[in-house]
Structure 1
Amino acid sequence: MRLDKYLCDMGAGTHSQVKQKIRKGLITVEGETVLRPEYQVEPEQKVCVEGEPFTYTEMEYYMLNKPAGCVSARTDEHCRTVLELLPKKKRKDLFPVGRLDKDTEGLLLITNDGKLAHLLLSPKRHVDKTYEARIQGQVTREHVKAFQEGLDIGEERLTLSAVLEILNSGEISQVRVTIQEGKFHQIKRMFQAVGCEVLYLKRLSMGSLTLDESLKPGEYRFLTEAELAKLKLEVGVEG
């Protein structure tokens, strides 16, 4: 691929910044200075920017324990984004797979694998997403039944059948919810539909991918090869 594209993909700067670095003689390939942005480079070759080595990575997969207070977006003018929590990332084209509300915590997959993301989010795939929630109001078996049958949250259709597990019922209830959709504020709207309010929400899993509880809010790590392989197998992605 072109040297300037290689460097842009790896976050060495904007396209104009990268070109300027190349023309200033700040880039070497296999120890030789290269002055042409269009120079063809192979991913396995050793590329350095001002003496700092860059290793090309085509795809990156991160598990983030999203903290409350940041938004699930690539950029935002007013709030900190989840991508700002990944200082060691290489790719500049990463994005969060699905959105968690600003005040929602928990599992968030961040990658640049568009195909995998599309399949995980596709309504046709019915990928389970499990959340832990603290609810204002007593959650009962009637609520469990209503979640199973589908709720009117102001959309054209009722929500798909969801599993509501009561962990503790009282003035403040503790529950676990599994849904197969990802509508805007869906869980909050589902509880509103039965006269309750979500006080706290945390995503625990998405398909076979489960939040590593050793990750504190704001911490992240690479997906393991086993986690990635299982996730791809689940949605039918080869390789």
Structure 2
Amino acid sequence: MSERLQKVLARWGLGSRREIEGWIREGRIRVNGKPAELGTCLDESDRVEIDGKPLRRPRLFRPRCRVLLYHKPVGEVCTRKDPEGRPTVFDRLPVLKTGRWINVGRLDVNTAGLLLLTTDGELANRLMHPSSEIEREYAVRVFGEVPPEIIERLQKGVELEDGTARFTSIRDAGGQGMNHWYHVVLKEGRNREVRRLWESQGIPVSRLIRVRYGPIELDRAIRPGRWEELDDASLNRLRAAVGLAPQKPARNSPARRAKYRPGGRRPRARR
């Protein structure tokens, strides 16, 4: 059975579908010696070259999907290489034999919290696409309490330079002194959207932490700069949220390893 080239390469973890479509337009990919087109389909017998180099495909045409939950600290960037020499989230991740880690959305350098990374480009694409309407929840610290009319305005919709934006919910999370915390939820991931929404009302954000992406919540036991691989149940909840079929557990999956640990403990979060 053949499938679209960009869909297959995304599933192998070479990039998101959007990235790979760009490579096709630039003429960087050849299939069976001919330049690939956006409509090119691929089956198991086809030979693929990227930038003139033969692609070593995974042993299985449908490689297993893996997802990491990474607790991003402030100061790290979400690019693979930073021209300013700042540390990147990829510096701490486990090395893959095939494919690569794809970050599901980004967090800016001053934002901390939950960042998902996967080997499955199709999953990443669906989680980020606006049509999926996947919820992102943030803990936000602002200076002083916010009057009800501003809360109402932020939920009703505010006009930003790239269009109307709003929070689907805002919950007061308390605070001490003039520092006040709120939990906000939105269903898209535009650049610095949470900060820009608050700042549009003259309210600067002093701290921002992503605490949930879809059905996956940030585990407080995972310290900043550390990661944990999702178990089969959590992975399949994430896949179900974007209409993908569940993945059967592997014999050496984290969930199975946890089952045989003394006391039934789950695998530890790792660097």
TM-score calculated relative to the size of structure 1: 0.72
Q: Distance in 2 between matches of 1:219 and 1:60?
A: 16
Closer/same/farther in 2, CA of residues 104 and 161 from structure 1, 3 Å limit = closer
Kindly indicate whether the alpha-carbon contact (under 8 Å) linking 1:83 and 1:95 is maintained by their aligned counterparts in 2.
Answer: no
Q: In the alignment, is residue 166 of structure 1 matched against residue 140 of structure 2?
A: no
Q: Distance in 2 between matches of 1:112 and 1:42?
A: 12
- The residue aligned with 2:216 is 209
Q: Distance in 1 between matches of 2:218 and 2:136?
A: 11
Alpha-carbon offset, residue 77 of structure 1: 2.7
Note the aligned Cα RMSD (angstroms): 2.5
- The residue aligned with 1:71 is 77
- Trace 1:140-159 onto structure 2 (pairs within 5 A): 140-155=147-162, 157-159=163-165
Q: In the alignment, is residue 118 of structure 1 matched against residue 125 of structure 2?
A: yes
- The residue aligned with 1:225 is 232
Q: Is the partner of 1:115 in helix, strand or coil?
A: helix
Q: Is the partner of 1:152 in helix, strand or coil?
A: strand
Amino acid at match of 2:108: D
Alpha-carbon offset, residue 214 of structure 1: 0.7
1:67-103: CA deviation from partner (whole Å, max 9, x where unpaired): 1111012222321111111145544521211010111
- The residue aligned with 1:101 is 108
Q: Distance in 2 between matches of 1:105 and 1:91?
A: 28
Unaligned stretches of 5+ residues in structure 1: 1-8, 10-37, 45-56
Q: Distance in 2 between matches of 1:116 and 1:159?
A: 25
Unaligned stretches of 5+ residues in structure 2: 1-12, 14-53, 247-271
- Choose the corresponding residue for 1:175, options 179, 182, 203: 182
- Trace 1:46-61 onto structure 2 (pairs within 5 A): 58-61=64-67
Alpha-carbon offset, residue 42 of structure 1: 7.9
- The residue aligned with 2:47 is none
Kindly indicate whether the alpha-carbon contact (under 8 Å) linking 2:139 and 2:182 is maintained by their aligned counterparts in 1.
Answer: yes
Closer/same/farther in 2, CA of residues 85 and 210 from structure 1, 3 Å limit = same
Q: Is the partner of 1:98 in helix, strand or coil?
A: coil
Amino acid at match of 2:125: H
- Return 64-73 or 139-148, whichever deviates more: 139-148
Kindly indicate whether the alpha-carbon contact (under 8 Å) linking 1:137 and 1:197 is maintained by their aligned counterparts in 2.
Answer: no
Alpha-carbon offset, residue 238 of structure 1: 1.7
Q: Is the partner of 1:227 in helix, strand or coil?
A: helix
Q: Distance in 1 between matches of 2:122 and 2:111?
A: 25
Q: In the alignment, is residue 84 of structure 1 matched against residue 91 of structure 2?
A: yes
Closer/same/farther in 2, CA of residues 159 and 106 from structure 1, 3 Å limit = same
Amino acid at match of 1:111: T
Q: Is the partner of 2:158 in helix, strand or coil?
A: coil
Q: In the alignment, is residue 135 of structure 1 matched against residue 142 of structure 2?
A: yes
- The residue aligned with 1:12 is none
- The residue aligned with 2:37 is none
